[in-house]
Amino acid sequence: MSTQANVAGGGRFQTAATLTHESAKAALDAGLSRIAAGASEVDCAPLKQFDSSALAVLLAWQRAATARGAALDIVNIPSGLASLAQAYGVDTLLTFRH
């Protein structure tokens, strides 16, 4: 399995291509480590396959950043995932840009 949070440079990390129920725990842990180390941005550009677990992971990452007194920007979120967030009513809880 690939690492779910690859360092892209500076305070940014990337998701893997897949973030589903099966990979959510590993992704969560990897992202939390990056956030604890000071990451302030997650790039979702690699994300091609996802389910609602991806939203849960993004929300948990954002909560972890907030608990540290920092913001977490979510960039390049796939339009399908943004639509899913809107359908579940959590889009306003996430700080993301397309």
The pLDDT tens digits for 24-79 are 999 999 999 999 999 999 999 999 999 999 999 999 999 999 999 999 999 999 99
CATH at residue 66: 3.30.750.24
Whose CA is closest to 64, among 90, 38, 98, 88?
38
Residue 1 included in any domain: no
Q: With contact defined as beta carbons under 8 Å apart, do 92 and 59 qualify?
A: no
Residue 59 included in any domain: yes
Range of the domain at 10: 6-97
The pLDDT tens digits for 78-93 are 999 999 999 999 999 9
- Number of domains, the chain: 1
Residue 80 included in any domain: yes
What CA–CA distances, in Å, run from 12 to 5, 38, 43, 44, 66? 9, 9, 7, 11, 16
| pTM (predicted TM-score) | 0.87
